[in-house]
Amino acid sequence: MTTEPNHDLDQWLETATKNLPAGISQTVCAEIEAHYADTVAEHQAQGKSPAEAHQAALAALGDVQATARALRDTHLAHRRYLAVSLVSLIWPIYPMLYFSLMPVLGIPASIQLVLYYAGICFIILLGLHTLKTLLNRRFQSGHLNQPITMITWGLSAYLGSVLLAELLFSGLSPTEIYAPEAEPLLKGLAYGIISGAVVAGSGALWLTTRLARITEPIFGLRLALTLFMAVFGLGFISFGLSLAANIKLLADLSFVLFMCASFFVFALLSLIFFRAARRPTNWPAPVT
């Protein structure tokens, strides 16, 4: 049974341009079809049969899945980078912006807390996972996956425990908070806060070592991002350990340190994503 050349090419083009906007898909298909036709003509001029020339030209187009990913990165990812750039820019003013808007909307205090911590988690994790996507695609740095996953789990445990503590113990007197029946829950939440901070901070330091191994400058911001990510990690670890040792002053100073570092980290991420959105990569040209 002979495979129709046009059918093979149509399947390749459909896979490569899946989810692209119609106008972009048509332009890309036209360019690839023109290149394919030129390559077929070259192989036939060398004495190959039409079927052989088709197979050689189709192979010369390269891996269809790699081309599809590159096309999405070029034509779609820049939208995501721009959106996350704006979200990251909100982070330094998020608490002030949030608590100035919530009272106006008349939302109950408990729901305000849930939305507040959910917003923090969303902004931080969106920024980190978009960084992972960007570096994996632009700079082939897949070794960032594990430390970012570690930060994700640690941060989720920390923020989740803080939220539960706020919801369960806010407004209670010290006698009620430290009542014998509340002690197991209080210890569990304290463990979640401490372990979450230490795990997330350790993940940030691990991420720092991975960033330091990247040879590309990441739009000229790699060293600054590495430095502030290290401060963020050290501050978060110090905060968790200070809570465990019940050293309030050191815990307060560490909290200020890692929060300030996080502001700089997200300011840098905002700039990185903005530059990535303005400088889309070219999709790989077919191999000739």
Residues 79-103 pLDDT 10s: 788 888 988 888 778 777 777 776 6
Residues 171-185 pLDDT 10s: 666 666 666 777 788
Quick one: average pLDDT of 11-21? 79
CA angle, residues 173, 175, 177, in degrees to nearest 5 = 70
Q: Distance between CA 134 and CA 146 in Å, rounded?
A: 15
pTM: 0.70
Residues 261-270 pLDDT 10s: 988 999 999 9
pLDDT at 276: 84
Q: Compare 133 and 227 and report the one with higher pLDDT.
A: 227
Q: Distance between CA 169 and CA 188 in Å, rounded?
A: 13
pLDDT at 76: 67
| Confidence tier at 21 by pLDDT (50, 70, 90) | confident
Residues 93-132 pLDDT 10s: 877 777 777 667 676 777 777 878 888 888 888 888 888 8
Q: Distance between CA 142 and CA 90 in Å, rounded?
A: 27
Q: Distance between CA 188 and CA 232 in Å, rounded?
A: 25
Residues 70-83 pLDDT 10s: 777 666 667 788 88
Q: Distance between CA 271 and CA 277 in Å, rounded?
A: 10
Cα-based torsion angle of the residue sequence 81, 87, 92, 95 in order, rounded to the nearest 10 degrees: -160
- Kindly state the tokens that stand for 102: 């919530």
Average per-residue pLDDT in the chain? 81
Q: How far is CA 263 from CA 202, 231, 257, in A?
A: 18, 11, 10
